[in-house]
Amino acid sequence: MKVSFKVNGQPRTVDVPGDMPLLWTLRDTLGLKGTKFGCGLSQCGACTVHFSGTAMRSCMTPISSCQGADITTIEGLSPDGTHALQRAWEELDVPQCGYCQAGQLMSASSLLAKNAHPTDAEIDDAMNENLCRCATYPRIRQAIHLAAELKAQSVQAGAPKAMKGGKP
Amino acid sequence: MTRTPLASAVSRRDFLRVSAIAGGGLLIASYLEPLDAATAVGRSAASDATLNAYIRITPDGIVTIIAKNPEVGQGVKTMLPMLIAEELDVDWTQVRIEQGDLDTKNFQGQVAGGSTATPNNWLPMRRVGAAARAMLVATAAQQWGVPAAECETAKGVVSHRASKRSATYGELATRAATATPPDLATVPLKDRKDFRIIGQRVRGVDTHRIVTGVPMYGIDVTVPGMLYATFVKCPVFGGKVASANVEAVKALPGVRQAFVVEGGTNLNGLMPGVAIVADSWWQAKSARLKLKVIWDEGATAQQSSASFATQAAALAAQPAQRSLRKDGDVDTALAGAARTIKGEYFYPFIAHASLEPQNCTAHMKPDGQLEIWAPSQAPAGGRALVAQTLGIKDTDITVHITRSGGGFGRRLANDYMVEAAWIAKVAGVPVKLLWTREDDMQHDFYRPAGYHYFTGGLDAAGKVVAWRDHFVSFGNDEKSFSAGASIGGTEFPQHFIPNFALDASVMPLGVPTGFLRAPGSNGIAFATQSFIDELAHAAGKDPLQFRLDLLANVQTDSAVAGTQPAPYDAVRARGVLELVRDKSGWGKTPLPRGTGMGVAFHFSHRGYFAEVVKASVSKAGKLKVEKVWAAGDIGSEVINPLNAENQVQGSVQDGLAQALGQEITIDKGRTVQSSFDDFPHIRFADAVPVEVHFLKSAVAPTGLGEPALPPLPPALCNAIFAATGKRVRSLPLSNQDLRWS
């Protein structure tokens, strides 16, 4: 079926089976590989995107339900990779394998949009469905706090300075 | 925290000797290759000057370092280039990192396993950088007509102070590439006081790409003309396809091909199944719902976890099939012991469940060349398996190593690679094979379950005088163990108890097993460190001091004349126990009933870790893990502390997940669990704060992907005992009743 919707601000029209999940439309039809497949069962959160501003699991969202939707993926979280969360993630070097982190960032950005200074308990609550197999949770939590500070622009990055460079 | 002289105080000769032990003699003669080396890596542009297979310097001064090993989240893609960059004497901000392909001509040990990358590469990678630097210096010295010894380097520039001349590496590179490489064995290396990169908090080279969603994992690979495949195997391991409705499946939307793969009988090879190849993966997966297969389930369709438990109990009641180690006379010592304690321990099968499901992309070209893109931890092993199975030559196979969404040992097996290669060969087009989560959970190479039947003897003073472990495990004959199901001759407390017996019996298994992060140790540490705790409490001793006393009791090896008393250093073992005692405030504060601290120590993968867990248990049996202190000794340097802390924290949470609720059960020959709901990983709310401390010893640094995991489950269970008086002898805790009154 033909479905028209916006992805990262760009209007897109796809012609795919109506039951195809948004995840596979993004990855295999539109070539946006940043959103990841972990389980296909809404259990891990690796596939999290914003659906009209709210964090949603794309692996169980049929494309037929996306007509007219406004989708944001990790590729569209910021124009140049400088969203406060992306900066905080880099500053603290959160990832290990990194596979879940796009989903973590999309859930965290949805949280910060609604709650500028979440507590640890609020972070646990909002992020608990995002699985990190490497268990980088302590750093994710720290990075969300740091991003909240960066966003408020009241405090400079207070974490130990990491050495930049070694670019891919 | 430094308590012993560091590497700088060790003579060069000693340093090399230490390395030769740690590195297993992996140093090779040809780390420097002629100009075509980078071409072999497949990334050389015509104008690039190549100093060796690892380093490329362009005239604009950009230094590219090839990261040869698979990156699975352990940080090796950053760490190995750091070693080269350090000795090359370039600024880290100048460096670019590229992932190398599988290239057994130029690279050694392209494996992510056994925490081996650090010990095996600590000197070789530094020598690569140092040799390249020496060639650049020699080139400058020759150009300037000055002695090389008078030249200095810093941040990618060679300078000669007396004549006030300097040249960038970029300016020198083209000529330097033709210089004679120095002898790697003797090329001078920096003293640790001169390190500018090693020991710094260096970010992962891919971190920016990760947070911006740049494709780089196996699942992200796209090849022009590529189709997508799913592969359906028998739920019973080793089952064959009797018949399948492939003609009906072929008629489904988007399906291009559907066919039976005959496969073999070796659980480590290509297994039988049905491949569906479609225009999109979703269509392949949708078609799979209509696939009907009649399986020939084979000989192992009746095996179950329950039957394994019954067999283990029966084996334990009989004399052991074999003796793995015998010191002194255990029976006599037990007969004379003031107290005898018995304990039966069990740990279950566990899946790896890395977040990126198994996948691989393969393209068999008309000329017979096979190109593969794989998130593999052991790409050379995969290539060999593919070559053997498809009947082609190694040299006709190119393997591109992609980033992996977690490894944990799962990707040491290459079943997904040989499946993709076979399907692509039959399909005649490039194919991306992707497993479902359920495929991944139900066709793993599991951490094998294990049963330990302990007997310990204490003398009147509470000292351990005898220890017997009848280890009941899996193996298809009485002389071998299934993969990952063995026990080593180095496990603590061997060598520290005068009368010691390690016996083993095995039962046959039709389930694929393999290596999970800290293989062997991840289960054995739970059993042994819990039983040591039982002995400590029976002796009325402080459990941490009891371990220190045990470690002070090094025995002369009575079984094998001429071997060292212990294969690891009791002083380093004691060091991490003392450090974790001091950092955790062990024994300093009385804790209320229901709250307790537990300790465990384990040596594995050349690393020493002691951990203390503080946990509380409500009367209703609800467990809360409050804090973990981890103390490790991995040698003279923590090469990248930023990543090292992350690895230890992650290992601790991983061990916590195993202890809390992970269990794979087998019923009717197949895996019962299928996803993250019935095989839980740790979540945000369960993640525990971890304090990480390192002790530095005067030996070359060793790896950190694994050794911090094994102490966590026993330390947690020992804390539960301290809190409640309930001894946990079987994992996971989700099966245990922790209520107390």
- Among the partner-chain residues B96, B204, B406, the one whose CB lies closest to the CB of A133 is B406
Q: How far apart are alpha carbons B428 and B440 in whole angstroms?
A: 26
pLDDT at B489 over 70: no
Substitution target in B684, B704, B706, B712 with the highest count of A β-carbons within 10 Å is B684
Same domain, A60 and A95: no
A17, A51, A76 - which closes a domain: A76
Q: What average pLDDT does range B702-721 have in this prediction?
A: 97
Contact at CB, B203 and A93, closer than 8 angstroms: yes
Q: Is residue A123 part of a domain?
A: yes
B282 vs A21, A41, A163: nearest CB? A21
Residue B615 Cα, gap to closest chain A Cα (Å): 18
Residues B297-316 have a mean pLDDT of 97
What CATH number is attached to the domain comprising A110?
Answer: 1.10.150.120
Q: Which of A86, A130, A161 sits opposite B211 (nearest CB)?
A: A86
Residue A93 to residue B642, Cβ atoms within 8 A: yes
**Above 90 in pLDDT, residue B30?**
no
Helix (H), strand (E) at residue B39: helix B37-41
* Residue-level pLDDT at A168: 54
pLDDT tens for A116-156 read 999 999 999 999 999 999 999 999 999 999 999 999 874 44
CA distances, B138 to each of B55, B156, B663, B741 (Å): 17, 14, 60, 77
pLDDT given at position B51: 66
Instruction: Please answer yes or no on whether A130 and B642 come within 8 Å at the CB atom.
Output: no
A141 contacts B356? CB cut-off 8 A: no
Q: How far is CA B104 from CA B130, B396, B434, B626, in A?
A: 22, 13, 27, 47
Question: Is A111 inside a domain boundary?
Answer: yes
Query: Binning pLDDT at 50, 70 and 90, where does residue B618 land?
Result: very high
Distance of alpha carbon B734 from alpha carbon A151, whole angstroms: 41
Q: Which residues contact B282 (CB under 8 A, 6 or more apart)?
A: A16, A17, A20, A21, A24, A28
Which pLDDT score, from 0 to 100, does residue B53 have? 84
Question: Minimal Cα–Cα distance from A90 to chain B, Å?
Answer: 6
Instruction: Answer whether residue A158 is part of any domain.
Output: no
The whole-number average pLDDT for the span B493-521 is 95
Q: How confident is the model at residue B46 (pLDDT cuts 50, 70, 90)?
A: very low
Mean pLDDT of B115-125: 94
pLDDT at residue B16, as a whole number: 21
Query: Do A65 and A88 reside in the same domain of the chain?
Result: no
Label residue B557 by pLDDT band (50, 70, 90): very low
Cα(B627)–Cα(B615) distance, rounded to whole angstroms?
7
Q: How confident is the model at residue B31 (pLDDT cuts 50, 70, 90)?
A: very low
- HSE at residue B312, side-chain half, CA atoms within 13 A, is 23
**What is the least distance, in Å, from the CA of A114 to any CA of chain B?**
19
Of residues A37, A38, A162, nearest to B202 (C-beta): A162
Q: Are residues A71 and A50 in contact, defined by beta-carbon separation less than 8 angstroms?
A: yes
Q: Is the CA virtual torsion B149, B155, B158, B163 positive or negative?
A: negative
Instruction: Compute the count of residue pairs across chains A and B with CB atoms less than 8 Å apart.
Output: 230
For residue B57, what are the CA distances in angstroms to A13, B103, B132, B191, B564?
A: 45, 20, 10, 25, 47
* Structural element, H or E, at residue B80: helix B76-88
Give CA–CA dist B509/B504, Å, rounded.
15
Sketch the domain layout of chain B as residue ranges.
Answer: 7-209, 218-299+358-434, 517-735
Could you say which DSSP state residue B446 is in? B
List the alpha helices (DSSP H) in B254-378. 281-288, 305-316, 330-335
A95 shares its domain with A133: yes
Least confident of B492-496, B559-563, B577-581: B559-563
| pLDDT computed for residue A138 by the predictor | 96
The fraction of chain B above a pLDDT of 70, given in percent, is 91
Confidence at residue B138, expressed as pLDDT on a 0 to 100 scale: 95
We report the CATH number of the domain holding residue A16 as 3.10.20.30
Given CA atoms B531, B537, B543, B549 in this order, what sign does their dihedral have? negative
Domain B7-209 classified CATH 3.50.50.60?
no
Q: Express each pLDDT in B646-705 by its tens digit.
A: 999 999 999 999 999 999 999 999 999 999 999 999 999 999 999 999 999 989 999 999
In this structure, the answer to whether residues A7 and A71 fall within a common structural domain is: yes
Same domain, A6 and A28: yes
Q: Structure tokens of A10?
A: 């760009």
Beta strands B499-507; B464-474: pairing state: parallel
pLDDT of the residue at B670: 97
pLDDT band for position A166 (cuts 50, 70, 90): low
A90 and A68 fall within a common domain: no
Residue B458 has pLDDT above 50, yes or no: yes
Indicate whether A145 and A88 sit together in one domain. Answer: yes
A36, A38, A40, A43 alpha-carbon torsion, rounded to 10°: -120
β partners of residue B229 = B277, B433
CA distance B204 to chain A (A): 7
Q: Is the pLDDT of residue A157 over 60?
A: no
Residue A88 sits in the same domain as residue A27:
no
Among A76, A107, A124, the domain boundary falls at A76
Q: How far is residue B274's CA from residue B278's CA, in Å, rounded to a whole number?
A: 13
Q: Is B261 helix (H, G, I), strand (E, B) or coil?
A: strand
User: Is A8 in the same domain as A62?
Assistant: yes
**Quick check: B724 pLDDT over 60?**
yes
Q: Is residue A119 included in any domain, yes or no?
A: yes
Mean pLDDT, range B550-575, rounded to an integer? 66
- Using DSSP's 3-state secondary structure scheme, residue B617 falls into strand
Chain A residue closest in CA terms to B280: A28
B513 Cα to chain A: minimum distance (Å): 20
Domain assignment of residue A24, given as a range: 2-76
Domain boundary residue, one of A76, A92, A123: A76
Q: How far apart are CA A18 and CA B567, in angstroms?
A: 62
Q: Is residue B366 reached through a cis peptide bond, with omega within 30 degrees of 0 on the bond before it?
A: no
- Determine the pLDDT at residue B462: 97
**A61 and A89 co-located in one domain:** no
CATH class of B218-299+358-434: alpha beta
Q: Quick check: A16 and B643 CB within 8 A?
A: no
B490 has a pLDDT exceeding 90: no
Least Cα separation, residue B667 to chain A (angstroms): 23
Does B168 score more than 50 pLDDT? yes
pLDDT tens-digit series, residues A52-70: 999 999 999 999 999 999 9
Distance from CA of A105 to the nearest CA of B (A): 8
Residues B199, B83 contacting (CB under 8 angstroms): no
A52 in the same domain as A91 = no
B202 contacts in chain A (CB < 8 Å): 162-163, 165-166
Please check whether the two domains, B7-209 and B218-299+358-434, share a CATH topology. Answer: yes
pLDDT tens across B136-163, in order? 999 999 999 999 999 999 999 999 999 9
| Nearest-by-CA chain A residue for B209 | A168
Q: Is the pLDDT of residue B476 over 50?
A: yes
A6, A51: one domain: yes
* B238 contact partners, CB below 8 Å, separation of at least 6: B265, B267, B271, B298, B299, B300, B510
Residue A46 lies in a domain: yes
The predicted structure's pLDDT at residue B240: 98
Can you tell me the distance from the alpha carbon of B190 to that of B192, in angstroms, rounded to the nearest whole number? 6
In 3D, which of B310, B276, B530, B581 has the Cα closest to residue B419?
A: B276
Evaluate whether residue A135 is within a structural domain.
Answer: yes
In DSSP terms, which residues pair with B399 in a beta bridge? B372
Task: State the residue for tokens 């640890």.
Answer: A120
Please indicate whether, in this complex, the C-beta atoms of A141 and B684 are within 8 angstroms of each other: yes
Cβ neighbours of B254 in A, within 8 Å: 17
pLDDT computed for residue B50 by the predictor:
62
Average pLDDT over residues B534-550: 97
Q: Where are the beta strands (DSSP E) in A16-59?
A: 48-51, 54-57
Please provide the average confidence, as pLDDT, over all residues in chain B. 91
CATH fold, domain B517-735, is: Aldehyde Oxidoreductase; domain 4 (3.30.365)
Question: Do the Cβ atoms of B97 and A137 come within 8 Å?
Answer: no
Residue found by looking up tokens 């007219």 in the block: A68
Higher pLDDT, A167 or B475: B475
Collapse the DSSP code of B277 into the 3-class scheme (helix H, G, I; strand E, B; otherwise coil) and give the result. strand
Residue A54 CB coordination number (10 Å): 10
Integer Cα distance of B440 and B89 in angstroms:
44
**Residue among A17, A97, A163 minimizing CB distance to B203:** A163
The pLDDT, as a whole number, for residue B185 is 86
Q: What pLDDT does residue B537 have?
A: 98
Average pLDDT score over residue span B701-723: 97
Q: What's the number of domains chain A is made of?
A: 2
Which residue is associated with the tokens 């895996």?
B671
For residue A161, tell me if it sits in a domain: no
Task: Give yes or no for residue B341 having a pLDDT over 60.
Answer: yes
